Amino acid sequence: MSKIIDAKGLTKIFQSSAKVVDGVSFAVEEGEIFSLLGPNGAGKTTTIRMLTTLTSITGGEASIGGRDVTKEPGVVRELIGVVPQEITLDNELRGTENLLLAAKLHHVPTSLAHKRAGELLRLAELGESGNNRVSTYSGGMKRRLQLVTALVHNPKVLFLDEPTVGLDVQTRTRIWDYIRQLNREQGLTILMTTHYLEEADQLSDIVAIMDHGTIKVSGSPTDLKESLHGDVLVLSVNDGGEDLTSFLKSVPNVTEVTRTEDSYRLKLPKVESALPAIIANIASRNLQITGTSFSKPTLDQVFLEVTGRSMRDAQDGGGNGRTDSYATARRSETK
C-alpha cells in the first residue's frame, strides 16, 4: 500500500479568528477508511475542505495521489469525490439527471455516463426511482444518491463529511453498509469526518481524534482502545472472606485489581483470553462465582483519556462556542 493522502502541518486561520486547524499531519494509505473523529468545532470539516481544494491552506501542505492540493487543484479535483454534510442534490432534477450532470462536469463520455449512472443507481438501490424527481425521495434515498453521485467518475479518494448526520439508526446502518461495500469491492480510499463514536469505531481502519484543531491521537480503533490497557472485568465471588486480590493480580496481563465489598474489578487487555483461567482457578478453590460482567473500552474513553473530557460533554458545549458544520465552515470563508 502507498500513501494516497499526505497532510503535513496543515493549518487554517480564518480572518480575525483563532487557528481553526493547527498543524495537523496524517497520511492515509490506499484502500483505507480513515476517520477524523471529534466534536463540533474540532476542525474536521475545515481539514476536509482544505484537502478538497475548497478552502485555502494557511500553513503546511497536502497532497492527494502525489499531487499538491494548492499547486494542482484541478488535477486533485479529478482524483476525488466529495460528499458534503448537507444534501446538495438538485431537488427539481431526476435522480438520473443529477448523476448525468455530475458525469458531464467530470468529463465522463456520454455513453459511459449512462452506463455508470445505471450501475450506481442499482448500487444505491435506487434503480426504480432514477426517473423520479429528487424532491420525491426520502432523506435516506437522497443521502444514498448523494453518495453515489460523487462516484460517477471513479474517483481514487472519496471524502465524506459526516455521512450519516441526522439519519435514523436504520438508515445509518444501511449507509455504513454502502461505505464498507465501496471500500471493499472498489478498493476506494475513504476519508470521512464524524462525531459519532460508533460510526468511527465500526467503519474505520484508522481513526484520528481531533479536538481544538489538532489531532490528539490516531490509530486503529482496536489499538486506540487497547492503549487504555484494556477491558474491565467485574467478578462477584462468594469468597467466604478469602481475599483473591493477590491471585487475581498474578494472572498474566492483569494490570489492576480493585476489591469492593462483594466483587473484584480487574483491568486487563483482553477479558476473553484470561477469563477461562480465572474461572478455573476460583472453581478449584471451591468458591462460587455469583456474577460476572465486563466492558470493552470505547473510543469515548480514548477521547476522555487524550482530551480530559468525554465526547458527549464536548458536544454539549465544550467546543468553546465554535461549531464545525459544513455550513459554518463555508460561512467562515466568506467573512
Partner 1 sequence: MITESLALGKRSLTKWTRNPFAVIVTSLQALFWLALFGNSFNPANAFPSTAAGSLGPLQQAFGGASTYITFLTPGVISIVALTGMSFMGVDLVFDRINGYLDVLRAFPIPRTSIYFGGVIQNVAKGMVAAPITFLIALLVPNGLKLAQGFGALNLLGIFATIALLTTVFSTFFTGIAISVKSTDSFFAAVNFLTFPIMFTSTAFFPLSFFPAWLKPVAQANPISLASDAMRLLVVNGTFSPAEVSAFIEDWVGLLIFGLAFALLGIAMARNALRAR
Are residues 231 and 297 in contact, defined by beta-carbon separation less than 8 angstroms? yes
Residues 6+ apart with CB under 8 A from 45: 85, 161, 162, 193, 324, 325, 326, 328, 329
Closest approach, Cβ 58 to partner 1, in A, equals 10
Q: How far is the CB of 92 from partner 1 (least distance, A)?
A: 4
Q: Which residues contact 130 (CB under 8 A, 6 or more apart)?
A: 94, 95, 96, 99, 117, 118, 121
The answer to whether 117 and 131 have CB atoms below 8 angstroms apart is no
**8 A C-beta contact, residue 159 and residue 79:** no
Of 158, 144, 219, 159, nearest to 186 by C-alpha is 158
Of the pair 93, 217, the CB lying nearest partner 1 is at 93
Q: Quickly count: other Cβ atoms within 10 Å of residue 133's Cβ.
A: 15
Minimum CB–partner distance for residue 146 and partner 1 (Å): 9
Applying CB under 8 A, the span of 68-76, 119-127, 165-173, 225-233 interacting with partner 1 comes to 68-76
Q: Judging by DSSP bridges, how do beta strands 288-295 and 231-238 pair with one another?
A: antiparallel
> Near partner 1 by CB under 8 A, which window of 33-41, 117-125, 136-144, 322-330?
322-330
Size of the site for partner 1 (CB under 8 A): 30
Q: Report the run of H or E that residue 188 belongs to, with start and end.
A: none
Please report, as a single letter, which amino acid is at residue 181. Answer: Q
In the chain, DSSP finds a helix count (H) and a strand count (E) of 13, 14
Site string for partner 1, 72-101 (x = CB under 8 A): -xxx-xx-x-x-x-x-x-x-xx---x---x
What's the Cα-to-Cα distance from 143 to each of 105, 138, 168, 175, rounded to whole Å?
20, 9, 12, 8
Q: Quick one: 104 or 270, whose CB is closer to partner 1?
A: 104
**86 vs 305 by CB, closer to partner 1:** 86
Shorter beta-carbon distance to partner 1: residue 104 or 312: 104
**Binding letters toward partner 1, positions 106-145, x by CB under 8 A:** xx--------------------------------------
Pick the binder of partner 1 from 174, 180, 309, 330 (CB under 8 A): 330
Q: At what angle do helices 95-105 and 139-149 cross, to 10 degrees?
A: 20
Measured between alpha carbons, how far is residue 18 from residues 44, 46, 213, 279, 323 in Å?
15, 13, 10, 55, 13
C-alpha cell at 76: 486533485
* List 26, 137, 303, 326, residue binding partner 1 (CB under 8 A): 326
Smallest separation, CB 18 to partner 1 (Å) = 17
Cβ proximity to partner 1, 322 vs 330, nearer residue: 330
> Which lies closer to partner 1 via its Cβ, residue 240 or residue 335?
335
Binding mask 46-65 for partner 1 (x = CB under 8 A): ------xxxxx---------
Interface with partner 1, residue 104, by CB under 8 A: yes
The residues binding partner 1 (CB under 8 A) are 52-56, 73-75, 77-78, 80, 82, 84, 86, 88, 90, 92-93, 97, 101-102, 104-107, 326-327, 330, 333-334
